[in-house]
Amino acid sequence: MPDHTAPAPSTAVRPPALRPGDTVMLVSPSGPTRPERVARGMELLTGWGLRPVLAPNAYARQGYLAGADALRAADLNAAFADPEVRGVICTRGGYGAQRVVDDIDMAAVRRDPKVVAGFSDITALQFALWRGARLASVHGPGAAWLDDRTPPRSAESLHAALMTTEPVTVAAVPEEETFAVRVPGRATGPLLGGNLCLIAATLGTPDMPDLTGAVLLIEDVQEPPYKVDRMLTQLRRAGALDGLAGVAVGQFTDCADGWPVTVADVLTERLGDLGVPVLGGLPVGHGVGQLTVPVGTEATLDTETGTLTVAPAVRPTPSPSPSPSPSPSPTPSPAR
């Protein structure tokens, strides 16, 4: 079986793992969110011992955006600058993160790295944090929680990625439409990517990562096969897929139209001749049972075992330094 092991990548910055008592700020960098779903997410986070707080503009709304660009950027920067905030959890994706990423205070991110979690449109934010701070992050459900789509296993997966330092292993499952998308082999390299639409939209911007030696993660929702074809073709023609180590294919949810060509057909045809291992059927993306994976850290994709194993996005949280013991009071001299 061919082995496509990448050279050692530049070291990712792994923020400290969250632990009970930590404050996490819920931000809405993209589309407007629903308070009732966020309330369920806050209940979940509180159950893990975390202290979720809403960013000042988390419920703002301006058309298809969660408030004006300046407000969304301000919330992100407030979260990154506040030493009490130890994690940044995006409420949802939608659209809009690309409009504010150039206004992120990367110096604050580098001074105090924090775990950032989200997916979908949040891929744009994660790419910006990778370029500006080499920050590893977490591709997983947002705080606008929907139990029907993200059952207990999804919650357990997010909890493990945020609060433990164990590697994350996701296995391909036959129930996923992309399960048949497979090119045999084994690949190792940093896992980069996320939502295919956002990856394609990042081409030509400073945030497009160099994917040489990387395992590329792709997933999407409500994109018909011809649009998936168009995005992959654009990436190929731009040379963005040259030198890949492998491709991890997640969920392509509701990606069908009236043509007798499936999204799995397109993925097989557009990825199958890259000369690298490809593993489909991973429950990562917009579908029911979505699981969480770190992005930016070393990953191993193995088509024989049907698994993607990723190093944690977080490092052990340092214990607080013990306070110095007070000096004993001097013993008074006996009276003479």
Does the domain at 13-164 match CATH 3.50.50.60? Answer given as: no
Residues in the chain: 336
Distances in whole angstroms, Cα of residue 120 to Cα of each of 14, 145, 195, 199: 21, 14, 5, 10
Cβ burial of 218 (10 Å; 0-12, 13-18, 19+) is buried
Domain ranges within the chain, ordered by starting residue = 13-164, 166-315
Q: Per residue of the chain (336 residues), give pLDDT as tens.
A: 544 443 334 589 999 999 999 999 999 999 999 999 999 999 999 999 999 999 999 999 999 999 999 999 999 999 999 999 999 999 999 999 999 999 999 999 999 999 999 999 999 999 999 999 999 999 999 999 999 999 999 999 999 999 999 999 999 999 999 999 999 999 999 999 999 999 999 999 999 999 999 999 999 999 999 999 999 999 999 999 999 999 999 999 999 998 999 999 999 999 999 999 999 999 999 999 999 999 999 999 999 999 999 999 999 988 764 544 444 444 333 333
Q: What is the biggest distance separating any 2 CA atoms in the chain, rounded to whole angstroms?
A: 106
The dihedral through the CA atoms of 183, 131, 240, 200 has a sign that is: positive
Catalytic residues: 120, 219, 286
Neighbours of 56 (CB within 10 A): 14
- The Cβ-side half-sphere exposure at 300, using a 13 Å CA radius, reads 11
Of 207, 187, 185, whose CA–CA distance to 298 is shortest? 187
309 vs 160: CA distance, rounded Å: 14
Structure tokens at 224: 């018909």
Thinking of the domain 166-315, which architecture would CATH place it in? 3-Layer(bba) Sandwich (3.50)
